[in-house]
């Protein structure tokens, strides 16, 4: 099988990266994680990737202050060196230019810790709690030039429980991130994702299977 050569871009701990590595450890998985690339040489996830025997690289964004195009050209060179076909942003804390995004359009995914289009940007769990929402969650989307925009591939919702703080809510959402990101990579690598983010051959979900919070009473 020709597995899609995939790069995971990180800035920090890399738990989503680890979930992707776990999924791709199965030789039947249609994508191989061929590179983990970070904009910080000290990102904890790099060590984890090396331990798993995956090629890693760091292009320090600090070295390119005010020169986003130069930073991205350096990243692009590393991606080409590794013959990368798909790019997955996983806690990658740099905003990308329109030029870079267009270059990877349809081949670059992001995971965001909210049910987009609610709560784009940072501090999503704090903002969800402050807004009093009853359902929160995560989204995998194709990357387009606007921040946390782009056609949605997958979402998962979790309840917001009484007594939640940002950490407990983040942990509940993160479990779902680790579930839906590998699934979305599988679909993309299998060539099943349309330009609108929808699966070309998706079975229709059961319309009665809504998630409610609070659930119906006895």
Binding-site ranges for ligand GRF (CB under 6 A)? 10, 12-17, 90-91, 111-113, 138, 174, 177
Question: Measured from the CB of residue 156, what is the shortest distance to ligand GRF in angstroms?
Answer: 11
By beta-carbon distance, which residue lies closest to ligand GRF?
91
Question: Measured from the CB of residue 43, what is the shortest distance to ligand GRF in angstroms?
Answer: 8
Three-state SS letters, 97-122 = CHHHHHHCCCCEEEEECCCCCCCCCC
Q: Strand (E) positions, the chain? A: 4-10, 31-38, 56-58, 86-89, 108-112, 135-142, 152-159
Question: Measured from the CB of residue 106, what is the shortest distance to ligand GRF in angstroms?
Answer: 20
In the complex with ligand GRF, the residue whose CB is nearer, 16 or 56, is: 16
In the complex with ligand GRF, the residue whose CB is nearer, 32 or 112, is: 112
Helix axes 15-24, 166-189, angle to 10 degrees: 40
| Of 9, 2, 62, 57, nearest in space to 32 by CA | 2
In the complex with ligand GRF, the residue whose CB is nearer, 48 or 80, is: 48
End-to-end CA distance of the chain: give it in Å, rounded.
51
Query: In terms of DSSP bridges, do strands 135-142 and 152-159 run parallel, antiparallel, or are they unpaired?
Result: antiparallel
- 62 C-beta neighbours (distance < 10 Å), count: 9
Q: Which of 112, 125, 136, 178 is catalytic?
A: 112
178 is catalytic: no
- Widest pairwise Cα distance in the chain: 61
In the complex with ligand GRF, the residue whose CB is nearer, 112 or 141, is: 112
Question: Measured from the CB of residue 14, what is the shortest distance to ligand GRF in angstroms?
Answer: 5
Positions annotated as catalytic residues are 112
């Amino acid at each position: 099988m020709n597995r899609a050569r995939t790069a995971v871009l990180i800035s920090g701990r890399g738990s989503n990266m680890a979930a992707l590595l776990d999924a791709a450890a199965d030789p039947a998985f249609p994508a191989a994680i061929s590179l983990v690339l970070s904009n910080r040489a000290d990102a904890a996830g790099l060590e984890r990737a090396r331990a798993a025997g995956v090629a890693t690289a760091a292009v320090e964004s600090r070295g390119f202050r005010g020169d986003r195009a130069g930073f991205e050209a350096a990243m692009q060179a590393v991606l080409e060196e590794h013959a990368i076909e798909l790019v997955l942003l996983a806690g990658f804390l740099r905003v990308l230019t329109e030029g870079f995004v267009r270059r990877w359009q349809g081949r670059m995914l992001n995971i965001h810790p909210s049910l987009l289009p609610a709560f784009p940007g940072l501090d999503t769990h704090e903002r969800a709690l402050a807004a009093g929402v009853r359902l929160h969650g995560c989204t995998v989307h194709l990357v387009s030039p606007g921040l946390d925009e782009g056609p949605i591939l997958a979402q998962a919702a979790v309840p917001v429980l009484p007594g939640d703080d940002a950490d407990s809510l983040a942990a509940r959402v993160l479990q779902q991130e680790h579930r839906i990101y590998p699934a979305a990579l599988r679909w993309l690598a299998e060539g099943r994702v349309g330009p609108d983010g929808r699966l070309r051959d998706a079975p229709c979900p059961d319309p009665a299977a809504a998630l409610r919070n609070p659930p119906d009473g006895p």
